């Protein structure tokens, strides 16, 4: 789903920020299909933020030109399109004419506010490519921090580029991210497929301070969180993940019973994760059916996490909760 609109806010000069390049290697693909919703919102009261316009229309991407909407360059307005992937929602900004984000991290926090802003899990910028890539993707989380990558975000990014460039049919392009090179592929039916690369399992590279206990990886390792000993497996998909299927009190989680808002931040900011961490709490129904709830670093509880879904499958295989297929990772059903 996409929403196009314009927002009025002051845009001061930007300070240069850089993204470290991190290798992201487990092969996994995911698909996303979009309906299109273009909307101009009525004025939203906020001292430094105003969303404005007057009409709404609903239709398919072929019937509505997001590009023409984004081409309106009124002074003082930031044009954006809002997309979501499985409810993981983002504000997309056309930033192809500059290597600096159009808004600051502090402004991104205001834009992401669900009561006084637009509301989103993050702000994504479509920027010029570097090192021979077609585009660069940068993202500010709803707390203003900048993650290396975002699985659902890069799928939304790909669809956004297709709208901006008026691309049709099967297309692929290269995207530079903080987690390295990503190559999203738009299918004939409009869905987006992304090869997420291989997992990074070496504990120090995730990074985690938990001691490695299996081939330099932290697999089913013990961690004390608020007096409870949890078993966790640490995986990086270019960004850090801590995956848990249970603790000493409850070896098999019922994830719907978790107080995610209470326990999530304690994992995210735990001293064992020097770069903070995304945390996936997983319930196992079978070797081929897992259910997860996620607390995302910098965004909190979200409805979905693409890199997190990949990390869950990797952790499930490493812990013997899911199987392999033909020497690789089997496709699994992950509900979130």
Residues known to be catalytic: 150, 305
Is the Cβ–Cβ distance between 85 and 306 less than 8 Å? yes
What is the number of alpha carbons within 13 Å of residue 313 lying toward its C-beta? Answer: 28
Write the burial class of residue 162 (CB in 10 Å: 0-12 exposed, 13-18 middle, 19+ buried).
Answer: buried
Q: Residue 277's CB: how many other CB atoms inside 10 A? A: 26
Count other C-beta atoms under 10 Å from residue 284's C-beta.
16
Contacts of 249 (CB under 8 A, 6+ apart): 228
């Amino acid at each position: 789903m996409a929403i196009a609109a314009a927002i009025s806010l002051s845009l001061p000069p930007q300070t240069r920020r850089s993204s470290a390049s991190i290798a992201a290697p487990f092969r996994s693909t995911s698909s996303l299909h979009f309906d299109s919703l273009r909307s101009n919102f009525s004025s939203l009261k906020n001292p430094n933020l105003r969303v404005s316009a007057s009409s709404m229309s609903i239709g398919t991407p072929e019937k509505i030109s997001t590009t023409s909407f984004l081409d309106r360059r009124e002074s003082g307005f930031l044009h954006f399109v809002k997309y979501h992937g499985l409810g993981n929602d983002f504000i997309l900004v056309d930033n192809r004419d500059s290597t600096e984000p159009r808004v600051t991290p502090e402004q991104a926090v205001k834009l992401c506010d669900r009561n006084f802003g637009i509301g989103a899990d993050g702000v994504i910028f479509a920027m010029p490519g570097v090192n021979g890539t077609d585009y660069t993707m940068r993202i500010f989380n709803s707390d203003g921090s900048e993650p290396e990558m975002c699985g659902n975000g890069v799928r939304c990014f790909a669809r956004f580029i297709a709208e901006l460039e008026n691309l049709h049919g099967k297309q692929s392009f290269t995207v530079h991210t903080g987690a390295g090179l990503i190559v999203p592929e738009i299918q004939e039916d409009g869905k987006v497929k992304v090869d997420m690369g291989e997992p990074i399992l070496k504990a120090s590279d995730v990074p985690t301070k938990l001691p490695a206990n299996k081939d330099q990886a932290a697999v089913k390792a013990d961690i004390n969180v608020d007096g409870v000993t949890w078993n966790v497996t640490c995986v990086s998909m270019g960004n850090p993940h801590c995956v848990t299927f249970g603790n000493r009190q409850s070896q098999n989680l019922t994830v719907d019973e978790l107080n995610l808002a209470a326990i999530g931040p304690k994992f995210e900011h735990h001293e064992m994760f020097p770069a903070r961490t995304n945390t996936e709490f997983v319930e196992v129904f079978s070797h081929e059916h897992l259910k997860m709830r996620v607390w995302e670093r910098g965004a909190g509880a979200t409805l979905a996490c693409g890199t997190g879904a990949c990390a869950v499958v990797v952790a499930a295989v490493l812990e013997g909760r899911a199987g392999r297929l033909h020497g690789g990772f089997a496709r699994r059903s992950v509900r979130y």
